[in-house]
Chain A
Amino acid sequence: MKSTEDLLKQAAELRWQLPQNLHDRIAESIHGEAARIAGRSVTRSGSNRRLAWQQRLDHFLTNPWTAFPIMVAVLGAILWITIVGANVPSKMLGTLLVEQGHALLTEWFLAAGSPAWLKGLLVDGMYLATAWVIAVMLPPMAIFFPCFTLLEDFGFLPRVAFNLDRVFQKAGAHGKQALTMAMGLGCNAAGVVATRIIDSPRERLIAIITNNFSLCNGRWPTQILMASVFIGSFAPKGWGGSIAALSVLVVALLGFGFALLTSWMLARTVLRGEATSFSLELPPYRPPNFWKTLYTSLIDRTLIVLWRAVVFALPAGAVIWLCANIPVGDASLAAWFVELADPLAWTMGLTGVILLAYIVAIPANEIVVPTILMLTVLVTGAAGGAGAGVMFEADDATVRAILTAGGWTTLTAVCLMLFSLCHNPCSTTLYTIYRETRSVKWTTVSALLPLVMGFLLCAIVAAVWRALT
């Protein structure tokens, strides 16, 4: 019986007798064979118009002078379509699910003679949180995802990676990080899994840690709502949608900047090393398969993500209602926490309610906005709802009225947008990070790094804002 050591030793000895460039010779012989076979079976006839057209398009999309404005413009356009397009269906869903649905359920529960706590927990807590999630999230997602997928099918994404390669290289990161960040725009957990296309462990870790700076679908609605309600509403009439889209675009680009900055910092400190080069194939532009894409992104992506949101919203709704209705001493649990967190939140330009909402929403970013709204109503007893834990209307003006009653200013909205960009990843993403890295250390870093950055960022913005106004 031979041992593996003998085997390896023999292989090593034999290796010395073989040509030194064995690997290259084998690759060469495969290559030559491939060329011979192709030469015998493939014929090309002349030039063709389609290729020329593609080259012209690539000239624009990969030239640094034109590529960056085009990329920003495309992202801005998608955001604008999403914000403007989602407005009406969101309002309709809000009326249907939040206003009428809630009233109907309340009636039924009262008619059935259910105890107040049961009706409160089920209808005012669980149902309402879920209804809010659907009303706030479904329309923007149903517009944003298909747009994005169509671009992907067309062949735009690899061009983006190509353009950003040099930027990432300068930061000491891998050029394919642009692709994983683009995936993160849909879902950070998916983005983290997508880093498998990066073969250097060091650069892969950087890509994993910084993926959180890609706004995920759970956070787009927060951005869009804050931008529409607090920033867009100051714009001249008719410009609200554009201004809102612009401010979300700024936050998204800021996220990209943070990703680069963090990559750069990591590559200079704990994850030091040279950026590896890679070859990226630019695929031909292909006309997207419109209906199929629409179907896949609606059924698979939108509904699956929505389902996840609903699954998390149901228990979260119960938690919110319980927080607001379990008395500790002379106030509810939520009120106590909010009072405790308020000083810290004030330095960050936020409110205690927002911090509490972010703790409730650790499982899923999707439920941040509904949680904030419900908690605000319940803690401040603001108008617009009846009783603790209930709120009805879903249009921008009411949301604004409620939040203003909760002590909000434009600063609060701006800081919330920044904090939404810059805080710990959701629990699903954290679990995925752990699964991919098998390291508690790096998972902790991925959670704390953006959180600390978010605290600092918000505190600085709030301090400057207050100094100026």
Chain B
Amino acid sequence: MNTPDSHEAGEACLACPSRFSQLRKLGLRVGESDFVIALAGNPNTGKTTVFNALTGLRMHTGNWPGKTISRAEGGFSYEGKNFKLVDLPGTYSLLSASPDEEVARTFLLFGQPDVTVIVVDATCMERNLNLVLQVLQITRRAVLCLNLMDEAHTNGIEIDARNLARDLGIPVVPCAARSGKGIPELIRETAIMAARTDAPPPRRLPLEIPGLRPALDLVEAELHEVFPNLPQPRWVALRLLEGDREIMEAVRSGEIGTLAEPVGAQLTS
């Protein structure tokens, strides 16, 4: 049943329309859009403010972590292309998740947006970079939005954006979304990234843990055999090796192969 090119499908066929099918499964109204952009980031870094600045919509923002609890969608166009923008709840990590974080995690992992814009709080880079690095493991095309630069500046924090871009292997755009600073640059970088088919892989984690690499390769290959269409097999493999119960259950029931329903906030009790 293995066609010769099926393994390449995830990499080479980014431009064909079928990539939207996964997004539709997650309940996204893809509509007339050419590209789907996801906004990810730690809680309270201003994702919704960036979303509003990009789309001209007025979603509610609030100065507390956890304000956005479900997904919001909006759109904008730039140079004749339509972009669908998805605002996700903030999440600290892709490794564990509360129901609202689960929305973000599932979308980033299995929705396969064209570009992931990672919004970070420039005043606490170190913690924010934890999530950035995790997101970079599962996506090829990402743009870093260095938000709250105004606040960082008043706090006496300077960030070398070019250095950071080189280290991460993705474009870095300093912004102050509240006053709209940097938003045009962010749009431009995102559009360029969306149109690229030859984006160089961003920084991958070394994961220099004895025995991990061969084990990952093995499990990933098997996952591919059982679920040929599974996005992010390597991430799922890592979760299996770590013994993540939820993922193990999803594999056992075969649910992970379908992901037809958005993993919403249903109580299990």
Contacts and interface: CB of A to CB of B under 8 A. Distances in A.
Contact of A199 (B70, B99, B242): B99
Interface string B69-102: 1100000000000000000000000010111110
Contacts of A4: 226, 251-252, 254
B219 interface: yes
B209 A18 contact: yes
A419 to B, nearest CB: 29
A17 interface: yes
Interface in B248-269: 248, 251-252, 254, 265-269
Contacts of A439: 267, 269
Interface of B: 43-44, 58, 60-66, 69-70, 95, 97-101, 123, 125-127, 129-130, 132-134, 151, 154-161, 163-164, 167-168, 178, 205-212, 215, 218-219, 222-223, 225-226, 237-238, 240-243, 248, 251-252, 254, 265-269
Nearest to A18: B211
B219 A14 contact: yes
B198 to A, nearest CB: 24
A29 B208 contact: yes
Interface of A: 1-8, 10-12, 14-15, 17-19, 22-23, 25-27, 29-31, 33-35, 37-38, 40-48, 50-51, 149, 152-155, 157-158, 161, 176, 179, 193-194, 196-199, 201-202, 204-205, 280-281, 283-286, 289, 295-296, 299-301, 436-439
A196 B265 contact: yes
B222 A158 contact: no
Contacts of B44: 281, 283
A44 B157 contact: yes
A339 to B, nearest CB: 43
Contacts of A41: 125, 159-161, 163-164, 167
A436 B267 contact: yes
Given A34-B130, A283-B63, A17 B211 contact: yes
A69 to B, nearest CB: 22
Nearest to A280: B65
B204 to A, nearest CB: 10
B154 A50 contact: yes
A33 B167 CA distance: 10
A30 B241 contact: no
Max chain A CB contacts within 10 Å: which of B97, B133, B156, B254?
B156
Given A15-B241, A37-B164, A300-B60, A205 B157 contact: no
B69 to A, nearest CB: 5
Contacts of A48: 154-156
Nearest to A295: B58
Nearest to B134: A30
B155 A31 contact: no
Max chain B CB contacts within 10 Å: which of A42, A51, A179, A199?
A42
A42 to B, nearest CB: 5
